[in-house]
Structure 1
């Protein structure tokens, strides 16, 4: 019993560290990783604890946490809690599917970002600002402070409770799935959701519209972009994304070179009037 109490106290201490460290999510953003370094920093105490004496396991866990991550800051600790609980399971069970950790993380960040952005940025911020503006117009000097409290108090409560909830849910349900042999099914399903989300992000974030058209006299006889859209909407952005992925995975081209290459390509195509 004493041992169990010590472990529980340890985990509570780790969850407190997770909450405070989670504020650094976007302190070091890169185009290819977004908040990955913040995720790695927030989970480092768990990694150090769970993989104590297992340097190889620790290295693999640290590499896992440096995968692309981007979500709403209010929902973020909930994901961290689940990932932390899965890392614990992975450290204790030799045949645990470690690929499920990133699969779950990737599949959760998109839907939770949508929920968090709608509720907190779309609704709560608007309501808080409306109340504060009314107070400011009435001459209340506390209006800015009231706005900050109305918006931030619910967010911080959710962040605090979210990390704890994610950790407890992860510990119970992941263990149950593991014991029932369903962890591989969960990994496959989460991977599909994650890939669908990445595909949606690609269509929204990668833009290239062809402006070069076939002209006879003063009349446009073929609109290149419309023709491409009839074949496949977003064909050029998709090809650019797949080619970039090929260069990174197969040719080991640095992401920094790809970023500068795409910037230069965009400038050249713009100057030539092609896109």
Structure 2
């Protein structure tokens, strides 16, 4: 598909549609349609330009776009742009079945959700949070850490979403499918997963605290289990072990977050009272 040139939808309406998608992606979020109603709200910005004098066609398109949809907001923005482009071509008389638009959206939302969750939530947000939390902890309540994080994460989200939205609208479905078929997506996800593991390792060392308070006292010396044994074998092994245990309980045993929190509280109280754990 050649580069998409707008013939029916003005740039202002297209920008408004993107702004609605990025700002209100989970409007009326529910288990039946997920983001479907937000997608319909996006199309409400452009549908009149496609079928000005045909209310039945407008209804048909809106029913098609309100169906089940769920994706990462920023990375999935290209799907919304692509759907608008296809609906525009369909309104111009191109032979594009409505089922094709729906099926294409459905087939793309899974891979792009996986890529977005891995890269954005698994790498970008943790790294930015770690930097800004350290900045906020420096000094006596440095507020700039929170301000910088808010500004950067919002600016990055809106910029990435806009670029992807317009890419999907102009490049169309073939460019996106070509991107997926070349295996670029899998390479990005694999690289982001490795980076995410490295980031989580760094966060565990800095923000998870677990110290063994047990000591063996003799007439000659005091032998600390934490300092003389655990730190010598593997520094920060208790925070790593605690993190992996929680991961195991959540992923394998399907424990809820409330159970995990209760376990941490009980372990902390028992460990503190018995002296097994300390500061």
Partner of 2:15: 16
Partner of 1:33: 33
The answer on whether the counterparts of 2:14 and 2:45 sit within 8 Å (CA) in structure 1 is no
Question: Deviation digits for residues 168-218 of structure 1, max 9, x if unmatched?
Answer: 0128869xxxxxxxxxxx9xx9xxxxxxxxxxxxxxxxxxxxxxxxxxxxx
Partner of 1:144: 146
| Distance (Å, rounded) in 2 between the aligned partners of 1:56 and 1:15 | 22
Q: Tell me how far 1:133 sits from its aligned partner.
A: 1.3
Question: Deviation digits for residues 35-86 of structure 1, max 9, x if unmatched?
Answer: 1110000111222111111222111101101110111111232111000000
The answer on whether the counterparts of 1:17 and 1:45 sit within 8 Å (CA) in structure 2 is yes
Query: Unpaired segments of 5 or more residues in structure 2?
Result: 182-279
| Distance (Å, rounded) in 2 between the aligned partners of 1:173 and 1:46 | 23
User: For 1:14, what is the secondary structure of its paired residue?
Assistant: helix
Q: Tell me how far 1:144 sits from its aligned partner.
A: 0.4
Q: Could you state the TM-score of these two structures normalised by the residue count of structure 2? A: 0.57
| Distance (Å, rounded) in 2 between the aligned partners of 1:164 and 1:13 | 13
**Shift in CA distance, 74/171, structure 1 to aligned 2, threshold 3 Å:** closer
User: For 1:45, what is the secondary structure of its paired residue?
Assistant: coil
5 Å-filtered alignment, 1:1-275, equals 10-22=9-21, 23-93=23-93, 95-139=95-139, 140-170=142-172
The answer on whether the counterparts of 1:25 and 1:36 sit within 8 Å (CA) in structure 2 is no
RMSD, aligned CA: 2.6
Q: Tell me how far 1:166 sits from its aligned partner.
A: 0.8
The answer on whether the counterparts of 1:15 and 1:163 sit within 8 Å (CA) in structure 2 is no
Q: Could you state the TM-score of these two structures normalised by the residue count of structure 1? A: 0.57
Partner of 1:259: none
| Distance (Å, rounded) in 1 between the aligned partners of 2:11 and 2:113 | 26
| Distance (Å, rounded) in 2 between the aligned partners of 1:100 and 1:69 | 15
**Shift in CA distance, 115/172, structure 1 to aligned 2, threshold 3 Å:** closer
**Shift in CA distance, 128/98, structure 1 to aligned 2, threshold 3 Å:** same
| Distance (Å, rounded) in 1 between the aligned partners of 2:146 and 2:120 | 17
> Whose Rg is larger?
2
Query: Unpaired segments of 5 or more residues in structure 1?
Result: 175-185, 190-275
Q: Which has the higher helix share?
A: 1
| Distance (Å, rounded) in 1 between the aligned partners of 2:95 and 2:9 | 25
